[in-house]
Chains A and B, each alone.
Chain A
Amino acid sequence: MRLEQEFQVAVPADRVWAFLLDVPTMAACIPGASNVTQTGDNSYDAVVKTKIGPVTANFGCKIVVLDLNEATHSGAVEVSGRDGRIGGGVKARMDMTMTEAAGETSVRIVTDVDVLGKIGQYGHGMIAKRADAMFDDFVACARARLT
C-alpha cells in the first residue's frame, strides 16, 4: 500500500531537516512511540503502541535511516515492526523530500507499507485512515516544536 502525505511548516528547510534527523526528539511527536534507543550510527529501536477498535498493538520496531542527502534535504527511513502477542506487523519504507520557498518548507513523504498477518484483516482503507490521523498528529506536534 502506498501513502502520500505532505505538510508545510513556516521555518527554513535546514531547521526541519535537523529536527527530523534528531530521531529521539522527532519520535516524541509520533503518536504512541516510546522507548526510542539508538542501536547504531543510523539505526534505532522503538516501541509504537496503536489502538484500532478494541485491539491494541505494541509494535517492536527496528528503524534504519538511509540515503541521506543533506544538499537536497532528502532521505529515507525503513521501519519494520512486529507485535509478537497478536501476530502481525508492518514493514515500511518512507521516502522524504523537502522544498523551501519564502522561508516556508514543504515536506513530502511517500510511504510504501506492507501490513503482515492478522493486522491486515482491517483492510487497507482503515489502515490508511489511521495512518493519516497519526500523520496529522505528528505534523501538529512537529509544528509546535519548530515554530
Chain B
Amino acid sequence: MAEVDDAFGFDEPIQPAAYLGPTSLDDALALLAEHGDEAKVLAGGQSLLVFLRQGLLAPSHLIGLRGIAELRRLEATPDGGLTVGAMVTQHTLETSPLVQARFPALADAAAVIASPPVRRQGTLGGNLCHADPTGDPPAALIALGADVEIARAGGSRRLPVEDLFRDYMDPAIEADELLVAIHVPPPAPRSGVAYLKYRLRGVDTALVGVGFGATLAEDGATCADVRIGLVGAGTTPLRATEAEAVLRGAPLTDERLAAAARAAAHECAPLSDTEASEWYRREMVEVFVRRAAQVALRRIDGGNAA
C-alpha cells in the first residue's frame, strides 16, 4: 500500500512556479514568446490546477490571463455572429441573454459543465485548450460552425474548432501561441442548434455529448446544411462527417435521422474505460444524435423548448 499511497501523491505540495500576470494581450504574447516552452497558461484554472496539484505538471512559469480585459469580451458582431473572448466564463455564457436567445446550444453546453463553482471560474478558452475529449463546449461549437482565433506575437490565425484537437488533450496551439477568441457565425435562416449531454452523475464530464445543428432549405423540409459534433466518442472531440452526409440535401425524416445516428455511432471511435465500454458509448451516440436532432429541429421554428 505504501507504494500506492505514495504514487497518488496527495500530500505533496505544488511545485513552485513564477506567476506572471500580463495586463495586455501584447504583453501576454511577449511572455509566451520568451517562456512558452516551460510555461503554462492559466485561464480559470479548473483543469490546470488539478494537474499541478497532482504533480503531473511542473511548469517554471504560470502566465495568468485574468488581468487582460479584452479576453473577457462577449459581444454580438455586426453581422449577427458572436465573439467570445477566451476568458469568458461558463457561468457568463450560461446566463447571458444574448447567448440564450441567439446561440442556445452554447448556453446548453456551458450550463452542464461540472458544478456552479467550477462554471464561475472555468472559461471557454481554457476548456478548449485543455482539449479533454469529454468536455461539453467542443461539440456545441462544432455544431455552431465556430472558429477559434489563435494569436502569437506579430500575428494571428483562425481555424475551425474541429481542427483544434490534434490528439488526446493536445490542442493545435504552439508553445508561443494563445487562443484569444471563439467566433460563432450568425445563425442561418431556418436553422436550429442544440447540445445534449449524457452522464451518470450530476457533475461528471460527458459519457457522450452531441451537438446538432441543421439548416432547412426554403421548402422547410430538405436539409440544406448540417453539422454534428461529438464528445466522449474518441480521443478528441469529433465532427461526424459521415452522419452529416446522410442528411445533407435529404428530407429530414425520422428514418433519415435514425440512419444518420447509426452512421455517427459507426464512424466515431470511443474508448472503453471504467465508466462505459466502447460498445455502450456507440449505442449512446446513436440515441443522443437522434435526441439532439429533435431539439435542434424544434428550435428552427423559433421555439426554445428543450
Contact = CB atoms under 8 A, between A and B. Distances in A.
Nearest to B129: A54
Contact of B54 (A53, A118, A129): A118
A123 interface: yes
Report the 4 A-B pairs with minimum CB-CB distance, sorted nearest first: A53-B169, A117-B7, A125-B271, A123-B273
Nearest to B274: A123
B131 interface: yes
Nearest to A123: B273
Most chain B beta-carbon neighbours within 10 Å: one of A118, A125, A126:
A125
Given A55-B51, A55-B56, A88 B271 contact: no
Interface string A36-54: 0000000000000000111
B273 A53 contact: no
Given A54-B57, A116-B3, A125-B273, 10 more contacts: A52-B169, A54-B40, A54-B51, A55-B57, A86-B54, A117-B7, A118-B54, A125-B271, A129-B168, A129-B271
Interface in B48-65: 51, 54-58
Interface in B3-60: 3-4, 6-9, 12, 40, 51, 54-58
B273 A126 contact: yes
Contact of B8 (A85, A87, A123): A87
A89 interface: yes
B272 interface: yes
Interface residues of B, number: 26
A127 to B, nearest CB: 9
Contacts of B92: none
A124 interface: yes
Contacts of A89: 7
B267 interface: no
A131 to B, nearest CB: 12
B273 A116 contact: no
B149 interface: no
A123 B56 CA distance: 15
A86 B273 contact: no
Given A52-B169, A55-B57, A86-B56, A118 B9 contact: yes
A105 B177 CA distance: 47
Contacts of A128: 271-272
A75 B4 CA distance: 30
17 contacts: A52-B169, A53-B167, A54-B56, A54-B169, A86-B9, A86-B54, A86-B55, A87-B7, A87-B8, A87-B12, A89-B7, A118-B8, A118-B9, A125-B271, A125-B272, A125-B278, A128-B272
Which of B7, B12, B58, B170: most chain A CB closer than 10 A?
A: B7
B7 A118 contact: yes
A87 B9 contact: yes
A88 B271 CA distance: 22
Nearest to B55: A86
Contact of B273 (A54, A85, A124): A124
A123 B168 CA distance: 12
Nearest to B59: A54
